[in-house]
A and B are shown apart, each in its own frame.
Chain A
Amino acid sequence: MSDNLMRVQPIRNGTVLDHIKAGRGRKVLDALDLIDKGTTITLLMHVPSKKNSSKDVIKIEDRELSESESQKLALLSPGAHVNIIRNFVVAEKNVAELPESISNVAICSNDNCISNNERGAKTKFNIINGNPLSIQCVYCGRKIAQDNIIFI
Protein backbone atom coordinates (compact mmCIF):
# COMPACT_ATOMS: atom_id res chain seq x y z
CA MET A 1 0.00 0.00 0.00
CA SER A 2 1.48 3.35 -1.02
CA ASP A 3 1.91 6.25 1.39
CA ASN A 4 -0.75 8.20 -0.37
CA LEU A 5 -3.40 5.51 0.02
CA MET A 6 -2.62 5.20 3.70
CA ARG A 7 -3.19 8.91 4.09
CA VAL A 8 -6.38 9.29 2.13
CA GLN A 9 -8.21 6.24 3.26
CA PRO A 10 -11.78 6.35 1.95
CA ILE A 11 -14.62 7.00 4.40
CA ARG A 12 -18.04 5.37 4.21
CA ASN A 13 -20.24 8.38 4.99
CA GLY A 14 -19.43 11.99 5.64
CA THR A 15 -17.70 14.94 4.03
CA VAL A 16 -14.29 15.40 2.49
CA LEU A 17 -13.09 18.99 2.24
CA ASP A 18 -10.45 18.99 -0.46
CA HIS A 19 -8.18 21.62 -1.97
CA ILE A 20 -8.17 23.74 1.19
CA LYS A 21 -5.47 26.39 0.96
CA ALA A 22 -2.31 24.86 2.44
CA GLY A 23 -1.98 25.75 6.12
CA ARG A 24 -5.63 26.89 6.44
CA GLY A 25 -6.99 23.52 7.58
CA ARG A 26 -6.64 24.19 11.27
CA LYS A 27 -8.48 27.50 10.96
CA VAL A 28 -11.27 25.75 9.06
CA LEU A 29 -11.57 23.12 11.79
CA ASP A 30 -11.79 25.88 14.40
CA ALA A 31 -14.38 27.86 12.47
CA LEU A 32 -16.54 24.80 11.85
CA ASP A 33 -16.28 24.00 15.56
CA LEU A 34 -15.64 20.31 14.82
CA ILE A 35 -13.00 19.57 17.43
CA ASP A 36 -14.01 17.56 20.49
CA LYS A 37 -17.53 17.04 19.20
CA GLY A 38 -17.25 13.24 19.07
CA THR A 39 -16.85 13.27 15.31
CA THR A 40 -13.97 11.34 13.74
CA ILE A 41 -11.86 13.86 11.89
CA THR A 42 -8.72 13.55 9.81
CA LEU A 43 -6.71 16.66 9.02
CA LEU A 44 -4.04 16.36 6.37
CA MET A 45 -1.75 19.32 5.98
CA HIS A 46 0.47 20.24 3.05
CA VAL A 47 -0.55 17.29 0.92
CA PRO A 48 1.22 17.40 -2.47
CA SER A 49 -1.34 18.29 -5.11
CA LYS A 50 -1.38 18.53 -8.88
CA LYS A 51 -3.68 21.52 -8.88
CA ASN A 52 -1.83 23.66 -6.38
CA SER A 53 1.63 22.90 -5.12
CA SER A 54 0.16 21.68 -1.84
CA LYS A 55 -3.17 21.66 -0.06
CA ASP A 56 -4.90 20.73 3.17
CA VAL A 57 -7.62 18.09 3.33
CA ILE A 58 -10.20 17.47 6.07
CA LYS A 59 -12.26 14.30 6.34
CA ILE A 60 -15.30 14.40 8.57
CA GLU A 61 -16.98 11.06 9.20
CA ASP A 62 -20.74 10.53 9.44
CA ARG A 63 -21.57 14.19 9.04
CA GLU A 64 -22.58 16.31 6.06
CA LEU A 65 -21.70 19.99 5.89
CA SER A 66 -24.55 22.49 6.21
CA GLU A 67 -24.99 25.55 3.99
CA SER A 68 -23.66 27.97 6.62
CA GLU A 69 -20.67 25.69 7.27
CA SER A 70 -19.88 25.73 3.55
CA GLN A 71 -20.00 29.53 3.67
CA LYS A 72 -17.45 29.58 6.47
CA LEU A 73 -15.21 27.30 4.44
CA ALA A 74 -15.65 29.58 1.42
CA LEU A 75 -14.57 32.58 3.48
CA LEU A 76 -11.43 30.91 4.79
CA SER A 77 -10.48 29.04 1.63
CA PRO A 78 -12.38 30.08 -1.46
CA GLY A 79 -12.23 27.42 -4.15
CA ALA A 80 -12.08 24.50 -1.70
CA HIS A 81 -14.06 21.41 -2.72
CA VAL A 82 -16.87 19.96 -0.64
CA ASN A 83 -17.43 16.25 -1.38
CA ILE A 84 -20.38 14.59 0.31
CA ILE A 85 -19.71 10.86 0.64
CA ARG A 86 -22.51 8.32 0.95
CA ASN A 87 -21.62 4.64 1.09
CA PHE A 88 -18.06 5.23 -0.18
CA VAL A 89 -19.33 7.13 -3.24
CA VAL A 90 -19.08 10.87 -3.89
CA ALA A 91 -22.79 11.72 -3.84
CA GLU A 92 -22.38 15.51 -4.19
CA LYS A 93 -19.47 17.66 -5.23
CA ASN A 94 -19.44 21.42 -4.77
CA VAL A 95 -16.89 24.20 -4.93
CA ALA A 96 -17.03 26.65 -2.02
CA GLU A 97 -17.27 29.97 -3.84
CA LEU A 98 -16.72 33.23 -1.98
CA PRO A 99 -20.25 34.62 -1.53
CA GLU A 100 -21.13 38.33 -1.89
CA SER A 101 -22.68 38.34 1.54
CA ILE A 102 -23.10 35.99 4.48
CA SER A 103 -26.02 35.63 6.83
CA ASN A 104 -25.77 34.24 10.36
CA VAL A 105 -22.22 33.00 9.88
CA ALA A 106 -20.27 35.53 11.94
CA ILE A 107 -20.90 37.86 14.90
CA CYS A 108 -20.57 41.65 14.70
CA SER A 109 -17.71 42.90 16.89
CA ASN A 110 -19.66 46.03 17.80
CA ASP A 111 -21.41 45.31 21.13
CA ASN A 112 -23.84 48.15 20.49
CA CYS A 113 -24.84 46.81 17.07
CA ILE A 114 -28.55 46.00 16.81
CA SER A 115 -27.64 42.51 15.53
CA ASN A 116 -26.18 41.78 18.98
CA ASN A 117 -29.12 43.21 20.87
CA GLU A 118 -32.34 42.37 19.07
CA ARG A 119 -33.83 39.02 19.95
CA GLY A 120 -34.02 36.78 16.88
CA ALA A 121 -31.99 39.11 14.67
CA LYS A 122 -29.74 37.49 12.08
CA THR A 123 -26.29 38.89 11.42
CA LYS A 124 -25.48 39.92 7.87
CA PHE A 125 -22.16 40.93 6.35
CA ASN A 126 -21.06 41.98 2.89
CA ILE A 127 -17.72 40.64 1.71
CA ILE A 128 -15.71 43.75 0.89
CA ASN A 129 -12.45 41.99 0.13
CA GLY A 130 -11.58 38.35 -0.52
CA ASN A 131 -7.84 38.34 0.04
CA PRO A 132 -7.07 39.40 2.71
CA LEU A 133 -10.62 38.69 3.83
CA SER A 134 -12.56 41.69 5.10
CA ILE A 135 -16.29 41.81 5.89
CA GLN A 136 -18.65 44.68 6.73
CA CYS A 137 -21.74 44.53 8.94
CA VAL A 138 -24.82 45.45 6.88
CA TYR A 139 -26.40 47.02 9.96
CA CYS A 140 -23.81 49.10 11.81
CA GLY A 141 -21.19 49.34 9.06
CA ARG A 142 -18.37 47.90 11.20
CA LYS A 143 -15.56 46.45 9.07
CA ILE A 144 -13.88 43.30 10.39
CA ALA A 145 -10.59 41.87 9.12
CA GLN A 146 -10.06 38.12 8.79
CA ASP A 147 -8.16 37.57 12.05
CA ASN A 148 -10.88 39.28 14.06
CA ILE A 149 -13.86 37.45 12.60
CA ILE A 150 -15.79 35.50 15.22
CA PHE A 151 -17.83 32.73 13.66
CA ILE A 152 -21.19 31.69 15.09
Chain B
Amino acid sequence: MKHVVSISDLSKKQILSILKRAKELVPVAKGKKKSKSLDGKILATCFFEPSTRTRLSFETAMQRLGGTCIGFADPSATSHLKGETLVDGIRMVAGYADAVLLRHPQEGSARLASENSEVPLINGGDGAGQHPTQTLLDLFTINEEMGKMEGLNVGMLGDLRYGRTVHSLSHALAKFNNKLSFISPDSLSMPSYVTDDLSCDWSSHNSIEDVLNDLDILYVTRIQKERFPDLEEYKKVASAYIIDSDLLKNAKSSMRILHPLPRVTEISTDVDDTKHAAYFRQAFNGVPVRMALLEQLIGGKK
Protein backbone atom coordinates (compact mmCIF):
# COMPACT_ATOMS: atom_id res chain seq x y z
CA MET B 1 0.00 0.00 0.00
CA LYS B 2 1.67 3.19 -1.14
CA HIS B 3 -1.07 5.71 -1.87
CA VAL B 4 -4.68 5.70 -0.70
CA VAL B 5 -6.73 7.36 -3.41
CA SER B 6 -9.85 5.20 -3.43
CA ILE B 7 -11.25 2.61 -1.03
CA SER B 8 -10.91 0.10 -3.86
CA ASP B 9 -7.12 0.55 -3.65
CA LEU B 10 -7.35 -1.39 -0.38
CA SER B 11 -7.85 -5.14 -0.21
CA LYS B 12 -10.25 -6.68 2.28
CA LYS B 13 -7.22 -7.83 4.27
CA GLN B 14 -5.71 -4.34 4.36
CA ILE B 15 -9.01 -2.84 5.48
CA LEU B 16 -9.33 -5.37 8.31
CA SER B 17 -5.78 -4.73 9.42
CA ILE B 18 -6.36 -0.95 9.56
CA LEU B 19 -9.57 -1.42 11.56
CA LYS B 20 -7.87 -3.79 13.97
CA ARG B 21 -5.05 -1.34 14.61
CA ALA B 22 -7.56 1.53 14.94
CA LYS B 23 -9.28 -0.35 17.75
CA GLU B 24 -5.97 -0.69 19.60
CA LEU B 25 -5.33 3.03 19.13
CA VAL B 26 -8.62 4.25 20.66
CA PRO B 27 -7.04 4.96 24.10
CA VAL B 28 -4.26 6.94 22.36
CA ALA B 29 -6.84 8.86 20.33
CA LYS B 30 -8.60 9.75 23.59
CA GLY B 31 -5.36 10.93 25.17
CA LYS B 32 -5.42 8.19 27.84
CA LYS B 33 -2.31 6.49 26.51
CA LYS B 34 0.78 8.00 24.93
CA SER B 35 2.38 6.95 21.66
CA LYS B 36 5.46 8.12 19.79
CA SER B 37 5.02 5.83 16.80
CA LEU B 38 5.23 8.72 14.32
CA ASP B 39 7.88 10.68 16.24
CA GLY B 40 9.67 13.05 13.88
CA LYS B 41 7.31 12.34 10.97
CA ILE B 42 5.67 15.16 9.03
CA LEU B 43 2.30 15.10 7.28
CA ALA B 44 1.66 17.82 4.69
CA THR B 45 -2.02 18.77 4.66
CA CYS B 46 -2.97 20.47 1.38
CA PHE B 47 -6.51 21.83 1.34
CA PHE B 48 -7.43 23.31 -2.03
CA GLU B 49 -10.91 23.67 -0.54
CA PRO B 50 -11.63 24.02 3.15
CA SER B 51 -12.79 21.01 5.19
CA THR B 52 -12.42 21.67 8.88
CA ARG B 53 -13.53 18.22 10.00
CA THR B 54 -11.12 16.27 7.79
CA ARG B 55 -8.24 18.60 8.57
CA LEU B 56 -8.71 18.61 12.35
CA SER B 57 -9.06 14.84 12.59
CA PHE B 58 -5.88 14.25 10.58
CA GLU B 59 -3.95 16.86 12.57
CA THR B 60 -5.16 15.29 15.82
CA ALA B 61 -4.25 11.80 14.58
CA MET B 62 -0.75 12.93 13.61
CA GLN B 63 -0.09 14.78 16.88
CA ARG B 64 -1.42 11.98 19.10
CA LEU B 65 1.24 9.75 17.52
CA GLY B 66 4.03 12.25 18.10
CA GLY B 67 4.17 13.58 14.53
CA THR B 68 3.61 17.06 13.18
CA CYS B 69 1.75 18.72 10.30
CA ILE B 70 2.62 21.40 7.80
CA GLY B 71 0.36 22.77 5.09
CA PHE B 72 -2.48 25.10 4.30
CA ALA B 73 -6.16 25.11 5.19
CA ASP B 74 -7.46 26.94 2.16
CA PRO B 75 -6.15 27.70 -1.34
CA SER B 76 -5.92 31.46 -0.88
CA ALA B 77 -2.75 30.80 1.17
CA THR B 78 -0.94 29.14 -1.74
CA SER B 79 0.62 29.93 -5.09
CA HIS B 80 -2.20 27.88 -6.65
CA LEU B 81 -4.05 31.14 -7.21
CA LYS B 82 -1.02 32.53 -8.99
CA GLY B 83 -1.45 29.75 -11.50
CA GLU B 84 0.76 27.03 -10.10
CA THR B 85 -0.39 23.59 -11.22
CA LEU B 86 -1.44 20.92 -8.76
CA VAL B 87 1.37 18.66 -9.97
CA ASP B 88 4.04 21.30 -9.30
CA GLY B 89 2.60 21.99 -5.86
CA ILE B 90 2.53 18.30 -4.93
CA ARG B 91 6.09 17.66 -6.18
CA MET B 92 7.32 20.46 -3.96
CA VAL B 93 5.42 19.50 -0.83
CA ALA B 94 6.28 15.79 -1.23
CA GLY B 95 9.90 16.84 -0.83
CA TYR B 96 9.16 18.35 2.58
CA ALA B 97 6.99 15.67 4.20
CA ASP B 98 6.68 11.95 4.88
CA ALA B 99 3.13 11.83 3.52
CA VAL B 100 0.72 14.20 1.81
CA LEU B 101 -2.99 14.63 2.53
CA LEU B 102 -4.87 16.25 -0.34
CA ARG B 103 -8.32 17.80 -0.39
CA HIS B 104 -9.29 19.20 -3.77
CA PRO B 105 -12.53 20.30 -5.47
CA GLN B 106 -11.93 18.38 -8.71
CA GLU B 107 -12.50 14.70 -9.35
CA GLY B 108 -9.39 12.69 -10.11
CA SER B 109 -7.02 15.23 -8.54
CA ALA B 110 -5.82 12.72 -5.95
CA ARG B 111 -4.98 10.11 -8.60
CA LEU B 112 -3.04 12.70 -10.61
CA ALA B 113 -1.26 13.90 -7.46
CA SER B 114 -0.34 10.34 -6.46
CA GLU B 115 1.35 9.82 -9.83
CA ASN B 116 3.60 12.74 -8.99
CA SER B 117 4.27 12.19 -5.31
CA GLU B 118 7.33 10.33 -4.05
CA VAL B 119 5.76 9.91 -0.62
CA PRO B 120 2.40 8.29 0.22
CA LEU B 121 -0.56 10.39 -0.85
CA ILE B 122 -3.87 10.22 1.00
CA ASN B 123 -7.04 11.40 -0.68
CA GLY B 124 -8.98 13.58 1.75
CA GLY B 125 -11.81 14.06 -0.74
CA ASP B 126 -11.64 14.97 -4.44
CA GLY B 127 -14.76 16.78 -5.64
CA ALA B 128 -17.66 14.37 -6.07
CA GLY B 129 -15.11 11.55 -6.29
CA GLN B 130 -13.54 9.55 -3.49
CA HIS B 131 -13.01 10.05 0.23
CA PRO B 132 -11.55 6.72 1.37
CA THR B 133 -10.81 7.63 5.00
CA GLN B 134 -14.49 8.53 5.48
CA THR B 135 -15.38 5.02 4.26
CA LEU B 136 -12.82 3.46 6.61
CA LEU B 137 -14.25 5.30 9.60
CA ASP B 138 -17.80 4.36 8.57
CA LEU B 139 -16.78 0.69 8.43
CA PHE B 140 -15.01 0.98 11.76
CA THR B 141 -18.11 2.54 13.31
CA ILE B 142 -20.40 -0.18 11.99
CA ASN B 143 -18.01 -2.83 13.32
CA GLU B 144 -17.81 -1.13 16.71
CA GLU B 145 -21.54 -0.58 17.05
CA MET B 146 -22.71 -3.99 15.78
CA GLY B 147 -19.73 -6.18 16.73
CA LYS B 148 -19.43 -7.22 13.08
CA MET B 149 -19.65 -5.75 9.61
CA GLU B 150 -21.01 -8.58 7.54
CA GLY B 151 -24.45 -10.06 7.14
CA LEU B 152 -26.08 -6.76 8.16
CA ASN B 153 -29.00 -4.98 6.58
CA VAL B 154 -27.77 -1.45 5.96
CA GLY B 155 -30.16 1.31 4.90
CA MET B 156 -28.90 4.45 3.19
CA LEU B 157 -31.19 7.44 3.16
CA GLY B 158 -31.25 10.87 1.54
CA ASP B 159 -29.19 12.11 -1.38
CA LEU B 160 -27.88 8.87 -2.84
CA ARG B 161 -27.32 10.32 -6.28
CA TYR B 162 -24.63 12.89 -5.52
CA GLY B 163 -23.49 11.63 -2.12
CA ARG B 164 -20.00 10.25 -2.63
CA THR B 165 -19.82 8.84 0.91
CA VAL B 166 -22.71 6.45 0.23
CA HIS B 167 -21.21 5.40 -3.12
CA SER B 168 -17.87 4.33 -1.62
CA LEU B 169 -19.52 2.84 1.45
CA SER B 170 -21.86 0.75 -0.73
CA HIS B 171 -18.89 -0.76 -2.57
CA ALA B 172 -17.07 -1.49 0.68
CA LEU B 173 -20.13 -3.01 2.39
CA ALA B 174 -20.78 -5.18 -0.68
CA LYS B 175 -17.26 -6.62 -0.29
CA PHE B 176 -18.24 -7.75 3.19
CA ASN B 177 -21.52 -9.36 2.12
CA ASN B 178 -24.11 -7.04 3.57
CA LYS B 179 -27.61 -6.33 2.30
CA LEU B 180 -28.21 -2.75 1.17
CA SER B 181 -31.51 -0.83 1.15
CA PHE B 182 -31.46 2.49 -0.70
CA ILE B 183 -34.11 4.99 0.40
CA SER B 184 -34.52 8.23 -1.54
CA PRO B 185 -36.81 10.24 -3.79
CA ASP B 186 -36.58 9.07 -7.41
CA SER B 187 -34.67 12.19 -8.41
CA LEU B 188 -31.88 11.38 -5.92
CA SER B 189 -31.69 7.60 -6.28
CA MET B 190 -28.49 5.57 -6.31
CA PRO B 191 -26.94 5.85 -9.81
CA SER B 192 -26.70 2.71 -11.93
CA TYR B 193 -22.93 3.13 -12.28
CA VAL B 194 -22.79 2.34 -8.56
CA THR B 195 -25.41 -0.41 -8.41
CA ASP B 196 -24.06 -2.12 -11.56
CA ASP B 197 -20.87 -2.94 -9.69
CA LEU B 198 -22.48 -4.16 -6.46
CA SER B 199 -21.90 -7.82 -5.75
CA CYS B 200 -24.47 -8.03 -2.92
CA ASP B 201 -28.26 -7.96 -2.47
CA TRP B 202 -29.72 -4.48 -2.72
CA SER B 203 -33.12 -2.85 -3.14
CA SER B 204 -34.50 0.66 -3.72
CA HIS B 205 -37.36 2.33 -1.82
CA ASN B 206 -39.06 5.70 -1.70
CA SER B 207 -40.24 5.43 1.86
CA ILE B 208 -38.28 4.76 5.04
CA GLU B 209 -41.31 3.05 6.62
CA ASP B 210 -41.02 0.23 4.04
CA VAL B 211 -37.73 -1.02 5.43
CA LEU B 212 -37.11 0.60 8.81
CA ASN B 213 -38.05 -2.36 11.04
CA ASP B 214 -35.59 -4.65 9.20
CA LEU B 215 -32.54 -2.38 9.36
CA ASP B 216 -29.43 -2.91 11.49
CA ILE B 217 -27.84 0.35 10.39
CA LEU B 218 -29.42 3.49 8.95
CA TYR B 219 -26.91 5.77 7.21
CA VAL B 220 -28.43 9.22 6.75
CA THR B 221 -27.11 11.88 4.37
CA ARG B 222 -28.13 15.46 3.86
CA ILE B 223 -30.41 16.45 1.01
CA GLN B 224 -28.93 19.66 -0.36
CA LYS B 225 -31.04 22.62 -1.36
CA GLU B 226 -28.80 23.24 -4.39
CA ARG B 227 -30.00 20.00 -5.99
CA PHE B 228 -33.49 21.42 -6.45
CA PRO B 229 -34.42 24.14 -8.92
CA ASP B 230 -37.53 24.85 -6.86
CA LEU B 231 -37.46 25.71 -3.14
CA GLU B 232 -40.99 24.36 -2.57
CA GLU B 233 -40.00 21.03 -4.08
CA TYR B 234 -36.92 20.90 -1.85
CA LYS B 235 -38.97 21.52 1.30
CA LYS B 236 -41.45 18.84 0.34
CA VAL B 237 -38.76 16.24 -0.33
CA ALA B 238 -36.56 17.14 2.65
CA SER B 239 -39.47 16.96 5.09
CA ALA B 240 -40.41 13.48 3.86
CA TYR B 241 -36.99 12.15 4.88
CA ILE B 242 -36.65 13.43 8.43
CA ILE B 243 -35.75 10.96 11.16
CA ASP B 244 -37.27 11.66 14.58
CA SER B 245 -37.71 9.65 17.78
CA ASP B 246 -41.37 8.95 16.95
CA LEU B 247 -40.48 7.21 13.71
CA LEU B 248 -37.82 5.15 15.47
CA LYS B 249 -40.39 3.34 17.62
CA ASN B 250 -40.68 0.89 14.71
CA ALA B 251 -36.94 0.23 14.55
CA LYS B 252 -35.03 -2.70 16.09
CA SER B 253 -33.66 -1.63 19.46
CA SER B 254 -30.15 -2.52 18.27
CA MET B 255 -30.49 -0.35 15.14
CA ARG B 256 -27.87 2.41 14.91
CA ILE B 257 -27.99 5.66 12.96
CA LEU B 258 -24.87 7.01 11.26
CA HIS B 259 -24.38 10.36 9.55
CA PRO B 260 -21.18 11.84 8.06
CA LEU B 261 -22.08 15.24 9.64
CA PRO B 262 -22.73 18.12 9.57
CA ARG B 263 -26.44 17.44 9.83
CA VAL B 264 -29.06 20.08 9.33
CA THR B 265 -32.66 18.99 9.82
CA GLU B 266 -32.56 15.42 8.51
CA ILE B 267 -32.06 13.95 12.00
CA SER B 268 -34.12 15.70 14.60
CA THR B 269 -32.21 16.56 17.81
CA ASP B 270 -34.58 14.43 19.90
CA VAL B 271 -32.84 11.38 18.38
CA ASP B 272 -29.50 12.40 19.96
CA ASP B 273 -30.42 10.99 23.37
CA THR B 274 -31.75 7.66 22.05
CA LYS B 275 -29.70 4.46 21.94
CA HIS B 276 -29.90 4.68 18.14
CA ALA B 277 -27.67 7.75 17.79
CA ALA B 278 -24.14 6.70 16.82
CA TYR B 279 -23.12 9.73 14.74
CA PHE B 280 -21.12 11.54 17.38
CA ARG B 281 -19.14 8.39 18.19
CA GLN B 282 -18.71 8.00 14.42
CA ALA B 283 -17.16 11.48 14.20
CA PHE B 284 -14.68 10.61 16.96
CA ASN B 285 -13.77 7.36 15.17
CA GLY B 286 -12.19 9.41 12.40
CA VAL B 287 -9.19 9.95 14.68
CA PRO B 288 -8.13 6.34 15.55
CA VAL B 289 -8.86 5.17 11.99
CA ARG B 290 -6.67 7.91 10.49
CA MET B 291 -3.99 7.16 13.09
CA ALA B 292 -3.93 3.52 12.01
CA LEU B 293 -3.75 4.47 8.33
CA LEU B 294 -0.94 6.98 8.92
CA GLU B 295 1.05 4.38 10.90
CA GLN B 296 0.75 1.88 8.07
CA LEU B 297 1.65 4.41 5.37
CA ILE B 298 4.61 6.10 6.98
CA GLY B 299 5.99 3.07 8.76
CA GLY B 300 5.81 4.06 12.37
CA LYS B 301 6.64 1.28 14.79
CA LYS B 302 3.76 -0.35 16.64
On A, residues with C-beta under 8 Å from B are: 108, 110, 112-115, 117-121, 137-143
The answer to whether B108 and A114 touch across the interface, beta carbons within 8 angstroms, is yes
On whether A114 and B106 interact (CB within 8 A), knowing A121-B112, A139-B111, the answer reads: yes
**Interface check B92, CB cutoff 8 A:** no
The answer to whether B193 and A119 touch across the interface, beta carbons within 8 angstroms, is no
The answer to whether B108 and A137 touch across the interface, beta carbons within 8 angstroms, is yes
**Selected contact of A140 from candidates B85, B105, B129, CB within 8 Å:** B129
From B104, B105, B107, B129, name the one whose CB has the most chain A CB atoms within 10 angstroms: B107
From A119, A120, A141, A143, name the one whose CB has the most chain B CB atoms within 10 angstroms: A141
Interface size counted on chain B using CB atoms at 8 A: 18
Besides the contacts A114-B107, A119-B85, A139-B109, what 18 more A-B pairs have beta carbons closer than 8 Å? A112-B106, A112-B107, A112-B127, A113-B106, A113-B107, A113-B108, A114-B109, A115-B112, A121-B85, A137-B108, A139-B107, A139-B108, A139-B111, A140-B107, A140-B108, A140-B127, A141-B129, A143-B193
On whether A114 and B112 interact (CB within 8 A), knowing A140-B129, A143-B193, the answer reads: yes
On B, residues with C-beta under 8 Å from A are: 6, 83, 85-87, 104-109, 111-112, 126-129, 193
B109's closest neighbor in chain A, by CB?
A: A114
- Nearest 8 pairs between A and B by C-beta? A139-B108, A140-B107, A140-B108, A114-B108, A114-B109, A114-B106, A139-B111, A114-B112
A137 to B126, CA, bound (A): 15
* Distance (whole angstroms) from the CB of B187 to the closest CB of chain A: 20
The answer to whether A139 and B112 touch across the interface, beta carbons within 8 angstroms, is yes
**B106 / chain A contacts, CB cutoff of 8 Å:** 112-114, 117
**A139 / chain B contacts, CB cutoff of 8 Å:** 107-109, 111-112
A93 to B85, CA, bound (A): 41
The answer to whether B108 and A120 touch across the interface, beta carbons within 8 angstroms, is no
**Selected contact of A112 from candidates B86, B128, B193, CB within 8 Å:** B128
The answer to whether B107 and A121 touch across the interface, beta carbons within 8 angstroms, is no
**Selected contact of A114 from candidates B6, B86, B128, CB within 8 Å:** B86
B128's closest neighbor in chain A, by CB?
A: A112
A110's closest neighbor in chain B, by CB?
A: B107
The answer to whether B87 and A141 touch across the interface, beta carbons within 8 angstroms, is no
The answer to whether A118 and B107 touch across the interface, beta carbons within 8 angstroms, is no
B84's closest neighbor in chain A, by CB?
A: A119
**A110 / chain B contacts, CB cutoff of 8 Å:** 107
**Selected contact of B87 from candidates A112, A118, A138, A142, CB within 8 Å:** A118
**A141 / chain B contacts, CB cutoff of 8 Å:** 6, 107-108, 129
19 contacts between A and B (CB under 8 A): A110-B107, A112-B127, A112-B128, A114-B107, A114-B108, A114-B109, A115-B112, A117-B106, A120-B87, A121-B85, A121-B87, A138-B111, A139-B107, A139-B111, A140-B108, A140-B129, A141-B107, A141-B108, A142-B107
